[in-house]
Amino acid sequence: MKGKLLRKLQAISMMNRFDIKNYLKRYTFFFALLFSTHAYSNQTNTNHIESIVLGSGCFWGAEKGYEQLPGVIDAVSGYSDGRGVQPNYRSITKYKNKFNKNNFAEVVQVTYNSNEIALEDIFIHYLESHDPTQLNRQGNDIGTQYRSIVLYSNNNQKLLIDRLLSEYQNLLNEAGYGKIQTSVKPLEKFYKAETYHQDYLKKNPNGYCPDLSTGVVFDKQIKDPIDNKNLLSGKKILVIDSKDYCPYCDKFDNDVLNSYQGSVPYVKRTSDQLDGINLSVPTWATPTIIFLDNGKEVFANQGYMNAKEFYKALGSFKLGNTEAYDVAFNEGTDARFCKEYQIFKNTPDGIFVDKLSGQPLFNTDDRFVSRSGWLSFTKPVDGATYELPDNRYGMRRTEVRSKSSDIHLGHVFDDGPNGLPRYCINATVLEFIPDKS
């Protein structure tokens, strides 16, 4: 797409000013897509990025294990919970610090998308991947640096950790293991380990950390996967929602989705329900609005969109380089007696709706033949449109716009039948829905 747009920009440089003006007007939607294909906003979304620091012995294998969990953004090896010792590998491995209770522990800082993976799943992995009943050791790795420790960031994390530790202790008791020795403390400071320790097992395929897990596991409930096949064909709007309360999601629902009735369907998913969908937009913020064409991401906005922003993007996505887009967003005008007019002038009873929002605009009961070459009505559906002065081109007219999507519809004049107004409306920005009866 962008290569095509750049070729168009090169072509523009060879035009005169009049041609450039018309060209840019015609291809407005292309440029809108160029500059907004990934519109990420950090001001109007709920951030689902959280972190926790976990120590379970050698940090090499632990780091690799966390990175393989879907929803974990990053895992960084480091040192925490020490006093009077330098937070580096050389210092913590000195013999004099081997049994120093103030020695730093080898830990991993796990950063994750809480909308895609729950802390509960990460902590269960933590408990099941080492032996928390061992004190200041894991297997043959002996010393305070190898202690089992959890450093939480907030009280909600602590409550969850305490509950799972209690549940795991019961399981360990049943299996004949002793008391859990894991320390649980608030995080004070995390020190990133030396560069050569980061992704150590990726850099050193022959290196390893032993698997010292107990083999005691929680019962895992298998969830049926979400079927996303319907998102892989046709045009769809995918809204990434939050598992928990998200004020910006509620605002987007109230301002846009609750009244949206357009023909491009929307589907809501949380970040852990995207199996089979290949996205380049990050999914850690909600809401994230994505337009898919046959499963391919065409446009994505990370954060809240108001109705005007949403429908401008939807217009580019749905209408493309068409007369309808030019009418809707550039205040263009249909050709007289255009094909849409010919179709719509003699429909059965029904309503004409906004081509983007699907909201009712005009009723066939109020349609009449004005012989102007454009659809004509004596009135719109109550509350569906608004009007404003239009003094362009040396004329004094009254423009008519859709309240729901803010697209341009046409103009209203005072020369309708029997002293009524004449709403002169462009057919290309309408869709027709016949009465069910």
State mean pLDDT over 87-105. 95
With a pLDDT cut of 90, the percent of the chain lying above it is 74
What are the structure tokens assigned to 48, written together?
Answer: 């689902």
State mean pLDDT over 381-386. 98
Q: Measured between alpha carbons, how far apart are the two ends of the chain, in Å?
A: 45
SS3 for 50-94 is: EEEEEEECCHHHHHHHHHCCCCEEEEEEEEECCCCCCCCHHHHCC
State mean pLDDT over 346-372. 97
Please give the mean pLDDT across all residues of the chain. 88
Per-residue pLDDT band at 283 (split at 50, 70, 90): confident
Per-residue pLDDT band at 426 (split at 50, 70, 90): very high
Regarding predicted confidence, which is higher, 397 or 13? 397
Query: Domain residues of the chain, as ranges?
Result: 1-36, 47-203, 227-319, 327-434
State mean pLDDT over 146-160. 96
Q: Which amino acid is at 151?
A: L
- Give residue for tokens 């780091």: 63
Q: What is the DSSP letter of 225?
A: P
pLDDT of residue 305: 94
| 200: pLDDT strictly greater than 60 | yes
| 14: pLDDT strictly greater than 50 | no
State mean pLDDT over 32-61. 74
State mean pLDDT over 19-25. 44
| 215: pLDDT strictly greater than 70 | yes
Regarding predicted confidence, which is higher, 339 or 60? 339
| 20: pLDDT strictly greater than 80 | no
Q: In this predicted structure, which of 95-104, 199-208, 398-407 has the lowest mean pLDDT?
A: 199-208
Homologous superfamily assigned to 227-319: Glutaredoxin (3.40.30.10)
pLDDT of residue 31: 42
User: At the topology level of CATH, where does 47-203 sit?
Assistant: Peptide Methionine Sulfoxide Reductase; Chain A (3.30.1060)
pLDDT of residue 4: 43
pLDDT of residue 393: 81
Per-residue pLDDT band at 11 (split at 50, 70, 90): very low
Hey, which CATH number is domain 327-434, 3.50.70.10, 2.40.110.20, 1.10.150.530, 2.170.150.20?
A: 2.170.150.20
Q: How many residues does the chain have?
A: 437
Per-residue pLDDT band at 284 (split at 50, 70, 90): confident
| 83: pLDDT strictly greater than 70 | yes
What are the structure tokens assigned to 63, written together?
Answer: 């780091």
Regarding predicted confidence, which is higher, 332 or 284? 332
pLDDT of residue 210: 60
* Mutual angle of helices 17-26 and 28-36, in 10-degree steps: 70
Radius of gyration of the chain (CA): 31
Active site residues per annotation: 58, 424
